[in-house]
Structure 1
Amino acid sequence: MNPDVTTFFGTYTPRLDEKGRLTLPARFRARLERGIVLTRGQENCIYGWTPEDFGEFSSRVRQLPFTHAGSRNFVRMFFSGMSEEMPDKQGRVSVPTVLRTWAGLDRACTVVGAMDRIEIWDSTRWDEFQASQEGPFADMTEEVMPGIF
């Protein structure tokens, strides 16, 4: 497996420009050249998916029972903030205001590869999240992924 092609990974620190555009990390551009789907993510970050990966995720979400209030609320929040964007020749994508507000983005951003998606964080929020997770990650007291490690 070539992780450059099949997996988003790494941490990058681009800045939003005055028009609310984010320059995608060079390593991610080829995979996102046909577009990126941006949505609200957990912990107030923004998820960025390839259209294909987003389609696969959406297929799984369609299986949620619409009679369940939590499912309905998740779908509403997740899809109401969704935006399909096309990178320009410089690898920049517009981040809609609703998503910038959700993630608290101003200028300093951190883009994190998270396997099948990227995550766009306010840099201060990312630093706080990462600091809060370093200890639990290093000291895993319970097996998070049975059979993997």
Structure 2
Amino acid sequence: MVGQEYDRPVSPNPASERDPEPLQPLPLLLGTYTPKMDAKGRLALPAKFRNRLGAGLVMARGQERCVYLLPADEFRRIAVRIQRTSMGDRSAREYLRVFLSGAVDQEPDKQGRILVPPMLREYAHLDQSVVVIGVGTRAEIWDQESWQTYLASKEQGYSDIADDVLPAVDF
């Protein structure tokens, strides 16, 4: 019937029509924190991140040798998008293998601690001194020295590319 056409939700984003999962805003993870990792690889999540990451989260290899912390829903969304890429695309296959083979489900304990598996600690060169940063819909765990080096190397570029990356916004 004609009237029923108007009852369907209208998607403002054509890309969402290709994604079967509804787009729901995820809480933003923001800031920089410096918790200590213990000898067993346990790390207390920043209090502000605990509820935002949810009861279950996924840890995975990140770019630039960090560890991603993703809410389970966000991880699933990313994995589905990568898997939709053609199996004939060698780069997509290789990325998917590395990304998913390094992913681990986690549930923080009652103190809000997570266990960073040895494989991910080795990958990101993590020891006691770590930095946890919020990067929007994910958090990242960095070795503290690596983070400081990375941040210092990107500072000038951060200023230089602001006009290209940011939309025309009045600050």
Q: What amino acid is aligned across from residue 53 of structure 1 in structure 2?
A: E
Q: Partners of 1:73 and 1:33 in 2: how far apart?
A: 29
Q: Which runs of structure 1 show a deviation greater than 4 angstroms over 4 or more consecutive aligned residues?
A: 145-149
Number of the residue aligned with 2:30: 9
> Displacement of 1:62 after TM fit?
1.6
**For the residues of structure 1 that align with 2:86 and 2:168, how far apart are their CA atoms?**
30
Unaligned runs of 5+ in 2: 1-25
| Matched residue, 1:101 | 122
Q: Which structure 1 segments of 5+ residues have no match?
A: none
Match of 2:39 in 1: 18
How many residues end up aligned between the 2 structures? 145
**Amino acid aligned to 1:132:** S
Higher relative contact order, chain-length normalized (CA < 8 Å, sep 6+): 1
Which structure would you say has the larger Rg?
A: 2
Which whole-Å CA distance do the structure 2 matches of 1:100 and 1:145 have between them?
A: 33
Distance 1:148 1:65 in 2: 37
Q: Distance in 2 between matches of 1:105 and 1:37?
A: 17
Q: Percent identity?
A: 41
AA at the equivalent of 1:72:
R
Q: What is the CA-CA distance between 1:145 and the residue it aligns to? A: 4.2
Q: TM-score, normalization: structure 1?
A: 0.91
What is the root-mean-square deviation in Å for CA atoms of aligned residues? 1.6
1:58 is aligned to 2:79: yes
Residues 68, 122 of structure 1: alpha-carbon distance in 2 compared, 3 angstrom cutoff = same
- 1:16-67, CA deviations, whole angstroms, 9 ceiling, x for partnerless residues? 1111111100110112341110000000100010011111112211222221
In the alignment, residue 117 of structure 1 is paired with which amino acid? R
